[in-house]
Structure 1
Amino acid sequence: MTTETLTIARLGSGGDGIADTSAGPVYVPFTLPGEVVAVARVKNHATVMSMSVASPERVTPPCVHFGPDGRNGTCGGCTLQHAGDALYHPFKRNLVVAALKSKGLTPEVAPLVIARPGERRRVVFTARRTEKGMLLGFNQAGSHHIVSIDHCPIASDGIVLRLEDIRRVAGAIATSSEPFRLTVLETLSGLDLAFEGVKTVGDRERRAVTQCVLSLRGIARVSNDGEILIEPQKPEIDFGGVRVSPPAGGFTQATKEAEEAMAGLVLAALGKAKRVADLFAGSGTFALRIARKAKVHAVEGEEKAVKALDHGARNTQGLKPVTVERRDLFRRPLMASELKAYDAVVFDPPRAGAEDQCKELARSGVKTIVAVSCNPVSLARDLAILTAAGYRIRLVTPIDQFLWSAHVEAVAVLEK
């Protein structure tokens, strides 16, 4: 370990400050461009010891769990609370611009759709039983230490105000001191608690969870590794007026506001398309909204998500026909010959993107394609495949769903 003084040149794609040195770039968390810091360095990573010049864009973090001075962050849930909006918002947008540019793409990129505190309806906690009680919070940056929290500025009030109840349920299910994950989703009918990694859940724990949940109000469901332990009410979320009960632990967008923004862009791009394929459809985030104005074929690899989508469609009046197909699009993408039946295609894959599916789309000639992505790097690769086949990127819109982090969503509209 060496101690030295560095000047931060820029923010990296992970949100760390980067200092350029003769030995190469050095990554310094919780710093901003223009700042001069004394650091303790190990190879190309450093920890701030003191700061002699602070950026005018530095602000006081709103959460004490982040670190009162913005440099000694403890909670690993956020990385950029110390950055003012004038720096933070362009940084988020530029993650998309830079990824596209790396593939030679320079389309119009809209201003960032911003996120605000208190919007997160889905939060993933780490928890562990200790002699002093349940730890519930987030892993400290770069470590397995759990920082227990009593509030969280990114999360909705519906979650923050129930933290103690969530701890009680976690205490009922936990049998050892091994850490585990807990995804909390605020739904229309109550909180959906999905545990992962609780190794031994026997009859005693099941009874304890049942008694605990029944003594509380507003817990819709508790599951462990996808197995439902108790479900006093079906947890429901609203996809454009269609009620859907997502699978236990299944994917949902983290904020309703970002979901609505993405859905609005998708629907606007589809225009008057009459037949639409929605690929990687999940539980119907886009498909069920699209069905208000067009026939939809929804394709998804996860069986429970397909069933949730189908149930929502069958139990809602006023929709155009919705067909569903369970299919692993990574192993067996829709072929160009199949895609020719559609006026438009929407795809929203996991972080890995949809490379093989895009190769088939490129050969299909579908008039309109809307790509939704949570990873600018894989999005840029996928769009490069499509543009090489003659598609034109009409617009890319970055959307901030994970406030004060280095993660950004994007919606790209392509035409041929």
Structure 2
Amino acid sequence: MTDVQPIVRLAARGDGVTADGRFAALAAIGDMVDFARDPPQVVPGPEHAPPPCRHFPVCGGCQLQHLTDTAYAEFAADRLRRVLPGLDPVIMAVALSPPRSRRRASLKALKRGNKLILGFHTEGTHKVVDVQQCEVIDARLFALLAPLRGLLSGVLADGQGAGVALTLTDTGIDLLLANVTADRLDRIEALLNFADAHDLARLSIEGPAGTETMVERRPPQLTMGGIAVTLPPAPFLQATPEGEAALVAAVLAGCEGAARVADLFCGLGTFALPLSRQAQVLAVDAAGPALAALNSAARMAGRRIDVQHRDLFRRPLTPAELAVLDAVVFDPPRAGAEAQARALAASVVPVVVAVSCNPNTFGRDAKILIEGGYRIEALWPVAQFRWSSHVELIARFVRPG
């Protein structure tokens, strides 16, 4: 008996779905799936692409390498349509970051016997894939993995694991090693020699006592809004330069003409610094090191940014505080910003620009704003986590009248 069905859509995690609701892993729209086989056999269609990485699909970093770029961009746009049922905002073209453009990476290392494993977890497990190829992270970061194996083999005990955070900055690579101790002279020398040999901007270690900078040869800096910002260790950054540029362009377009703007969950100032070229900015966040970096950069450049330390989950800006603003930008973590969305919904702010890394929580917060009288005008999808099911977006809401 045959049971062959076409894939008609993709689920949120990228699995193919048939018209009768059955799922098929690693399938694209237009593929044919023979469910009579065990496991089901996928016959590739025109939107199915050969995966470029030898570790796919075992490595948990990518879920969608089997899609063409066209199919991947459509997946990203469809993710946004599905969280806003019944609405029809203008959806801009998807900003898709190129391969090997990721400027930050968090990896796991584990020493077992004489072998050092360094790579990413398989999805949903604690197993680490020892990556010998990666098509998403910048080649300059990937080139450091082989020498890192040698360094960590010498400083880790058998059975010990460590975290590796790599950040590519304008002034070089910033490296943070977690669960690595520098309590012996030979380990200290190994770390310092490694930083020197590979021209690192900074090397830090993180342990029970906190983060310690072992060597800083140059301050790790990134330029945001024309200003150099010195980064704290392992900072939160947009994943790719192309993704950041797309997000900033959309935020600036959404706030065009606003003289007084709040940037909520502002972090290092990814949006606050570009916005400060055209507006007075209130930048609010609870992340102390990031706020200190933003405040220092803004003061040195003479930008009009009022930096405020505040937990917006517990103390969102109130409608009265929001009343003096022409526009509000909010870019919360994956949990969204329900409390702040409710305060915005009760405010008179004419424009709200929402930036989100989670379409599901964005859908919840967007519903709150719409029920409060806002109308969604446009959506900008950004797919900077290439080949993953992770989609970011910017949305512009306006209060009519």
* TM-score normalised per structure 1: 0.87
- 1:92-121 deviations in whole A, cap 9, x for unaligned? 1101111122xx433222221122112111
Match of 2:13 in 1: 14
Alignment of 1:298 onto 2:283: yes
Shift of 1:200: 5.3
Deviation of the 1:60 alpha carbon: 1.1
* Pairs within 5 Å for 1:1-400: 7=5, 9=7, 10-18=9-17, 27-33=23-29, 34-37=31-34, 49=39, 51=41, 53-66=43-56, 73-101=57-85, 104-196=86-178, 198=179, 202-203=183-184, 205-224=187-206, 227-230=211-214, 231-317=216-302, 319=303, 321-400=304-383
Report the CA distance between 1:262 and its aligned residue.
0.7
CA displacement at 1:203 relative to structure 2: 3.9
Deviation at 1:89, TM superposition (A): 1.3
Alpha-carbon shift at residue 7 of structure 1 (Å): 4.0
- SS of the aligned residue for 2:140 comes to helix
Output one character per residue of 1:254-313: Cα deviation in whole Å (capped at 9) or x when no partner.
001111111111112211211111100001111111111111110010111110110111
Give the distance between the partners of 1:311 and 1:5, measured in 2 at CA. 64
Q: Is the 8 A contact 2:15 2:27 kept in 1?
A: yes
State the distance in 1 between where 2:184 and 2:326 align: 53
- State the AA in 2 paired with 1:268: A
Query: Secondary structure of 1:315's partner?
Result: helix
Deviations 1:228-251 (A, max 9, x none): 332222111110211112221221
Structure 1 residue 88: deviation in Å?
1.6
Query: Hey, what's the Cα distance between the residues in 1 that align with 2:36 and 2:27?
Result: 11
In the alignment, the residues of structure 2 paired with residue 168 and residue 291 of structure 1 have an alpha-carbon distance, to the nearest angstrom, of 45
CA distance in 1, matches of 2:126, 2:32: 29
Whole-Å separation in 1 of the counterparts to 2:108 and 2:123: 13
The CA distance in 2 between the partners of 1:7 and 1:223, in whole Å, is 52
Asked if the contact 2:201–2:219 (Cα under 8 Å) also holds between the matched residues in 1, the reply is no
**Mean CA deviation greater in 354-363 or 133-142:** 133-142
Structure 1 position 179, deviation (Å) = 3.4
For 1:278, give the aligned amino acid: D
Change (3 A) 1:132 1:35: farther
Aligned CA distance change for structure 1 residues 310 and 18 (closer, same or farther; 3 Å): same
1:15 CA displacement: 1.1
Shift of 1:201: 5.3
* Equivalent AA in structure 2 for residue 269 of structure 1: G
Gaps of at least 5 residues in structure 1 are: 41-47, 67-72
Distance, in Å, in 1 between the alignment partners of 2:318 and 2:155 is: 45
* Aligned equivalents of 1:236, 1:105: Cα separation in 2: 41
CA distance in 1, matches of 2:6, 2:108: 32
**Could you say if the C-alpha distance between residues 183 and 35 of structure 1 is closer, same or farther in structure 2, counting changes exceeding 3 Å?**
farther
Change over 3 Å in CA distance of 1:275–1:52 after alignment to 2: closer
Which secondary structure state, in structure 1, belongs to the residue aligned with residue 60 of structure 2?
coil
| Structure 1 counterpart of 2:349, one-letter code | V
Residue 412 (structure 1) aligned to one of 384, 395, 399: 395
Bigger shift: residues 347-356 or 260-269? 260-269
Between Structure 1 and Structure 2, how many residues are aligned?
Answer: 392
Give the Cα–Cα distance (whole angstroms) in 2 for the partners of residues 31 and 52 of structure 1.
Answer: 7
- 2:45 is matched by which residue type in structure 1? S
The CA deviation string for residues 127-180 of structure 1, in whole angstroms up to 9 with x for no partner, is: 211223321111223432222122311111221222223334444553342434
Calculate the aligned-residue CA RMSD, in Å.
2.3
Shift in Å, 1:90: 0.6
Question: In structure 2, do the counterparts of structure 1 residues 189 and 176 end up closer, same or farther at CA, with 3 Å as the change threshold?
Answer: farther
Q: Is the 8 A contact 2:155 2:180 kept in 1?
A: no
- Secondary structure of the 1:364 match is coil
Between stretches 344-353 and 138-147, larger displacement belongs to: 138-147
The letter of the residue matching 1:330 is F
Distance (Å, rounded) in 2 between the aligned partners of 1:162 and 1:218: 10
* Distance in structure 2 (CA, Å) of the matches to 1:82 and 1:51: 15
The residue type paired with residue 183 of structure 2 is G
Alpha-carbon distance in 1 for matches of 2:13, 2:23: 10
